[in-house]
Amino acid sequence: MEELSCLYKNPSAPIEARVRDLLSRMTLDQKIGQMTQIERKVVTPEAIRDYAIGSVLNSGGSAPFEKALSSDWADMIDGFQKLALDSELGVPIVYGSDAVHGNNNVYGATVFPHNVGLGATRDAELALKIGTATALEVRASGIHYTFAPCVAVCRDPRWGRCYESYSEDTAIVRKMTSIITGLQGQPPQGHPKGYPFVAGRNNVIACAKHFVGDGGTDKGVNEGNTLLPYDELERIHMEPYLDCISQGVSTVMASYSSWNGRKLHGDRYLLTDILKDKLGFKGFVISDWEGIDRLIQPRDSDYRGCVSLAINAGVDMVMVPFDYKRFVEILKFLVVSGNIPMARIDDAVERILRVKFVAGLFEHPFSDRSLLNTVGCKAHRDLAREAVRKSLVLLKNGKNIEKPLLPLDRNAKRIFVTGSHADDLGYQCGGWTILWNGSSGRITIGTTILEAIKEAVGDNTEVIYEPKPSPETLSQQDISFAIVVVGEEPYAEFTGDNSNLKIPFNGTEVICSVADKIPTLAIIVSGRPLVLEPELLEKTDALVAAWLPGSEGGGIADVIFGDFDFTGKLPVTWFKAVEHLPMHTKENSHDPLYPFGFGLSYTKHASID
């Protein structure tokens, strides 16, 4: 009888009617609880029962325990869900995680190339397939919501999140938003514009981020200031959100950054007047991690003012993530005192509940264990390997174009492989992999570039490997060619801000020392263009930009040994010197080392799109 009397529990009732019915039953405390997202480390029965917390997340590196499998994550999240369902109204939590290149926090999941590599593919269908595969692996772990994709348009590679951007070109970023349809499913014909959509239990709630202009900050400073008139902000940085909204994206995350000095988390004009009213977005706006705390400086000097600014600006769900009791207390005070209108609270909670109903959380709140066999499965690893192949950009092939080094001879007598990144899965995957900042070493399951080379060569080929080239090896006369793999160590967000962009670990010197003695293919593993010194360019025989390829190093061996051709094109302009930055396609693109869209292949000497 209770099910019949509670309209919100009736799965056949219209979603908007269910939202209104549930909202009408909620106390102010319960509404504020729905607006509060807390870190999994602080979840307790009290938090769910007494504070009606509506959402839980894990930060990068916050796992149930080391090397926890998808089934372990599902056990944890189902436990949180049981607490929520046992509460007075039984409103399920929505659990969120940064699954930004596969379900990258979970050991054993498929790790796809980071977005900059996908931008090099220009392949919208591939992005959609990656979204579909990622959704399955995310749902297998019990997670309902991914804070992805990042649809920033990166205008300066000094930015520490450059690799999270598909391109410096708005058109390519717009094209690659097809990953949202992969994550959430394809909305039916006639689906209302701006209304959130999630197709079913094999799909996840997506999040377009970071609204807006995060890739255009002055000098590429993370959380910095984007200095643009509104029409340029709209033309360059906002257009991808139109595509996200047209695909039914369910949530949008506000940016840490500022627009002409106005912090986005407190900008009512952009969050409400533009995103919600003009663009018609009907999902919910979520803050970034402690994003509202940064609104007033010095930090923690006026938290009440921060909460008031953010909620009145249009933030609906707040990623607190730890001190939720203080947040709840202050938000309640601001509502009771009239600083935040009750209508603003109701609007926020309506949006949150709408997404929960759309995602089917009331009907299917628990994990689907039948999906566990999709995690790291062959089909998904094959898809990731395809993405790696298509992302590689060939920058040079032969000191003389009539004598190319590539494709390499897999049956050569002796091959030398060296460099800091040749046999390091963590470096290959980059940031946002197992840990927030990423890490070195065998951090998950996958194939390193060295392992892929060894699998690809002939039975009679000897592969000599040294992390650092020794004089003894370099003096050998019978090495056919060398493969030197160097690049950046993993980083995330502000830890990746870099004003010099030199190849770390003396990468230039390592390449040159080998190329002086042996015909050399240099592979650069990085989240962005790095400084390529004239000496390096002169001495190497071939040069490949591999970006951050993820767990499937086999995709690199597939192409360098000629099983597949190079098809990747630069998604960003490759500068000659940092003093020339910012430089990007169509504007300020004078005299680049390699122009936007450049990419060689085996069948064509050069191609620029």
Backbone angles phi, psi at 576, to 5 degrees: -85, -40
Q: Is 578 helix (H, G, I), strand (E, B) or coil?
A: helix
Q: Is 348 helix (H, G, I), strand (E, B) or coil?
A: helix
Nearest to 144 by CA among 82, 55, 69, 63: 55
Active site residue 489: no
CB 392 within 8 A of CB 439: no
CA distance 424 to 443: 9
Alpha helices in 89-148 (DSSP H): 115-121, 124-140
CB 486 within 8 A of CB 467: no
Chain centroid to CA 33: how far?
A: 27
Beta bridge partners, 544, equal 394, 523
Per-residue burial over 138-161, b = 16 or more CB atoms within 10 Å of its CB, e = otherwise:
bbbbbbbbbbbbbbbbbbbbbbbb
| Length, in residues, of the chain | 609
Catalytic residue among 137, 169, 288, 386: 288
Q: Is 478 helix (H, G, I), strand (E, B) or coil?
A: coil
CA distance 225 to 557: 41
Catalytic residue among 493, 497, 541, 558: 493
Active site residue 346: no
Backbone angles phi, psi at 288, to 5 degrees: -85, 175
- Rg value, the chain, Cα: 25
Residue indicated by tokens 């299917």: 364
Written as one string, the DSSP assignment of 235-269 is IIIIHHHHHHHHTT--EEEEPSSEETTEEGGG-HI
Who contacts 422 (Cβ-Cβ below 8 Å, separation ≥6)?
448, 449, 450, 465, 467, 483, 484, 485
CA distance 278 to 459: 63
- 439's tokens: 């890490």
CA distance 548 to 445: 16
Alpha helices in 359-475 (DSSP H): 378-391, 425-429, 449-456, 471-474
Written as one string, the DSSP assignment of 481-540 is EEEEEEEPPP--GGGG--SS---TTTHHHHHHHHHTTS-EEEEEE-SS-----HHHHHH-
Give 50-54's long-range contacts (Cβ < 8 A, gap of 24+).
51/324, 51/325, 51/328, 52/87, 52/89, 52/91, 53/84, 53/93, 53/324, 54/91, 54/93, 54/94, 54/317, 54/352
Residues annotated as catalytic are 288, 493
